[in-house]
Amino acid sequence: MAATADVDTTYRMGDQLFVQPDARLQECFGLDEPIRMTRQEVAVARSHIEAWKAIANGSDGHVLVLEDDIWFRRGAAAAIDRGWRAALERCGKDRGP
């Protein structure tokens, strides 16, 4: 599987452990152990990068990005609204949260 311009399909175990620490993995693999992404992982990475590009090129000052498999509990929208209002009050409407 060839790397695309946006995704390098090989990374190191140390990179994974930096973003998602797991002592079990660290015991079994060296930090320089190469990890090759599956086709599915590459597809997910590319979709995330495309979302980031759309946000960076867009005009919105603030964006909420969610995974496609998110589940909200009853009352989640109200909780998000309360959190957003609290952030605006703390930071001011000009600076944003």
Mind listing the pLDDT tens digit for each residue in 23-45? 998 899 999 999 999 999 999 99
Per-residue tokens: 28: 């079994």
pLDDT for 2 beyond 50: no
**CB-based contacts of 14: which residues, under 8 Å, 6+ apart?**
31, 32
Instruction: Answer for the pair 13, 25: CB distance below 8 angstroms, yes or no.
Output: yes
First to last CA, the chain: 40
Distance CA 94, CA 88 (A): 9
- Average pLDDT (81-92) is 85
Q: What pTM was estimated for this model as a whole?
A: 0.63
